[in-house]
Amino acid sequence: MALPRSFHPSAVTIREENLTTWCRCAPKYARVILNLRLSQPYQSVFMPVARVTSAIVAIILALGMIVLGGWYFTIGMSIIVYLGQLEYFQLCRAKGIAPAAKTTLVVSQILLIVSNLSPALADAVMPVAGTLICFYLLFQPKFATIADISASVLGLFYGGYLPSYWVRLRSLDQIAASNLPFDGFMPASFFPDLKTLPAGLTATLLAFGCIWAADIGAYVFGKLFGRIKLSAISPKKTVEGAVFGVMGSVVVGTLGSWQLAWPGFPLTGMALGLIVGIASLLGDLTESMMKRDAGVKDSGQLIPGHGGILDRADSYVFTAPLVFYFVTLLLPLLPA
């Protein structure tokens, strides 16, 4: 089978009945064919499978980290932060910026360790870490620019400081409840009474549940009913998807506050769900803005069907401090 002179990969679609014939009759084009855009039926099958499979694996790993807590959770977060910051600095370099990547990576790991050892000291680490980053940039052979300094400090704040609140949140009541080495915790039964679990564990589970509900609701309902574009920053997002995503987060937050017997039910659960739903959406849009500015579609290719770590974890960045202060500052003020 001869290929036409006007043959171009972007103009070809592959259908099931033609795939074998193409590969047999034009073997020298096999590599090109494997990279062609699949027709719509293949996209509708393969992409959701990869996305769902990756999501299931991520949820299992996340649940294991959350339940164990202690250093198990801290180490897991440290790996996520490290990989996420590597992707962030790649976006910076795509813009011609030269951030203090190695220094930021190191001080961010120190910040996470301190957040687990002594959460009260974590805020003191942030200005010290920022000072070290500026100090490093000052003594480079090439003069650092404002963009270099700004990108480095943002990498520390966005990629290290804000995620450290997850470690602080999960650490609540962890030491007193730990029954495993390295401050880990394992429930006595597979379905324990939620009120007997450490406050950090239940709050983290509820926050993650709200984020998952927001992501799933926005994706599913956006695909099915989405018509109105939400923002030019992320053209695939729709107003309908965003609304259903926030509603899903509110429902999960309300149910969670009922199970945990929070004071002020159901308003506290609804408020938490609303905060998490909006913050997760803003985190998603913020990461999309950075990718658009850098001229890339995904921050990486580590997770099949999702892209990079930032593509998967963007919804969690702004959420962590809001949930932490909601649980530690607001809830104690409410009458039981």
pLDDT in tens, 33-79: 444 444 443 444 345 687 778 878 888 999 999 999 999 999 999 99
| 3-state DSSP assignment of residue 1 | coil
Whether pLDDT at 298 is above 70: yes
Per-residue pLDDT at 326: 97
Helix (H) or strand (E) holding 231: strand 229-231
- Could you tell me if 162 and 155 are in contact, meaning their C-beta atoms sit under 8 angstroms apart? no
Residue 72 φ/ψ, nearest 5 degrees: -65, -45
What digits encode the pLDDT tens for the residues 205-259? Answer: 999 999 999 999 998 989 898 899 998 888 889 999 999 999 999 999 999 999 9
The Cα–Cα gap between 209 and 205 comes to 6
Q: Is 256 within 8 Å of 268 (Cβ atoms)?
A: no
Cα-Cα-Cα-Cα dihedral of 324, 327, 328, 329, to 10°?
Answer: 110
- Contacts of residue 46, Cβ cutoff 8 Å, sequence gap at least 6: 38
CA distance 42 to 33: 14
pLDDT higher than threshold 80 for residue 112: yes
Average pLDDT over residues 134-161: 94
pLDDT at 294 exceeding the cut of 80: yes
Each residue of 120-152: b (16+ CB within 10 Å) or e?
eebeebbeebbebbeebbeeeeeebeeebbebb
Whether 87 and 308 have beta carbons less than 8 Å apart is answered as yes
What is the separation of C-alpha 143 from the centre of its chain, rounded to a whole number of angstroms?
34
Query: Is the distance from CB of 69 to CB of 201 less than 8 angstroms?
Result: yes
Count the alpha carbons within 13 Å of 265 in the hemisphere toward its beta carbon. 14
Please name the helix (run of DSSP H) or strand (run of DSSP E) that holds residue 23, with its range, or none: helix 16-25
- Residue 165's pLDDT is 97
pLDDT tops 90 at residue 12: no
